Structure formats: C-alpha cells, structure tokens
C-alpha cells in the first residue's frame, strides 16, 4: 500500500518536473511561436538551408562565443541582414562597439525585428528575432548609447553583411 503510494507520488513528481522543465526551456520562444512569419520552413528544411552554426543560433536560440564573429570588427557602411531569410535588419549607422564581443546596434531597421520575453538561465531578458522568419538573433538591453539607450546584442553568425 505505502509502496504503491510512494510509487505514484514519485511518478507524479517526475511528471510535474518534466512539465516544468519543458515550460522553462520553451518560455523564451513562446511569444515568437505565437507570431506568424512570412518565411517558414520545416525543421529539416532549415537544417539544409543553414550552416550548423546558423541553425544553432537562429532556430535553437543558441549563443555564439563572444569575440568569435568577424562582424565585430565590421566598420564599413552597409546593411546587416538575416542569415535565415535575407531581410535587412540593421544599418551600419547604428552599429557601435559595446566591448561585449558581440555585434551591437542601438536601433534595428523599421519593422525588422520582433521581441519576446526570455526567462531562461534565471534571467529576465528580451529576446530579439527576425520579423520575417522568426529566427533568433540575440537580445536587447537598456544599457546602450544615445539616442535610444538600447543595446541590440546580436549573434554575428545570424547576420550577413552587405557593403553599401
Ligand atoms: Zn529572417
């Protein structure tokens, strides 16, 4: 009897934990999932279209190692567009050196990105994704320079640069 009860409790506990872990892991993507995107592909198609690195960032909300992107040092005039769907996202005129090791901008182009709450890793952050394909780009913080005071901290591997 008590064995049975303990077994049930254990099962219950395991189920509850499993559910909460799933909820925890997916929290960051919830808002983006509710949006509809003009460019959509199946997971298998994305895997074919993107490099392994791009897929990990754009489709799995990964984060590239700091100082790993050549775009950190990109200072020419031009446009940074989504590596997933080629939508122009940022202008070089809003790029600045944040010292963080990730390409940083103080403002995206108009209608270029969407945002969602991201509570992963026990931090309340604002996730930034491409408005057209939903690809994860990075996060936005409120410690940026003037005029917006925002810092769009982007994964360079999620962006392609085109010189003006
Ligand atoms: Zn995109």
Mean pLDDT of 37-46: 97
What range defines the domain where residue 91 resides? Answer: 5-163
CA 136 / ligand 1 centre spacing (Å): 8
CATH number where 128 lies:
2.170.150.20
CA 156 / ligand 1 centre spacing (Å): 13
CA 82 / ligand 1 centre spacing (Å): 5
For 116-150, write each residue's pLDDT tens digit. 999 998 999 999 999 999 999 999 999 999 999 99
Number of domains in the chain: 1
For 24, other C-beta atoms within 10 Å of its C-beta total: 13
Q: Which residues are catalytic?
A: 153
Mean pLDDT of 19-33: 43
Please give all residues whose CB falls under 5 A of ion ligand 1, grouped by chain where several chains appear: 82, 84-85, 87, 130, 132-133, 135
DSSP assignment of 45-112: HHHHHS-HHHHHHHTT---PPTT--GGGG--SSEEEEETTT--EEEEGGGEE--SSSS-EES-PPTT-
Peptide bond just before 147 cis, omega within 30 deg: yes
Pick the closest to residue 158 from 100, 86, 78, 95 (CA basis). Answer: 86
Mean pLDDT of 4-16: 40
């Amino acid at each position: 009897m008590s064995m049975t009860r303990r077994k049930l409790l254990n099962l219950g506990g395991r189920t509850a934990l499993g559910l909460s872990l799933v909820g925890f892991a997916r929290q960051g993507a919830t808002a983006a999932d509710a949006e509809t995107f003009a460019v959509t592909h199946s997971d298998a198609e994305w895997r074919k279209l993107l490099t392994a690195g791009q897929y990990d960032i754009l489709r799995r909300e990964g984060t590239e190692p700091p100082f790993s992107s050549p775009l950190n040092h990109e200072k020419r005039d031009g446009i940074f567009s989504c590596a997933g769907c080629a939508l122009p996202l940022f202008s070089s005129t809003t790029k600045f050196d944040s010292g963080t090791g990730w390409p940083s901008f103080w403002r995206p182009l108009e209608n270029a990105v969407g945002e969602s709450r991201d509570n992963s890793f026990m931090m309340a952050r604002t996730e930034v994704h491409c408005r057209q394909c939903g690809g994860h780009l990075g996060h936005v913080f409120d410690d940026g320079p003037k005029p917006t005071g925002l810092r769009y901290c982007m994964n360079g591997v999620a962006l392609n640069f085109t010189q003006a």
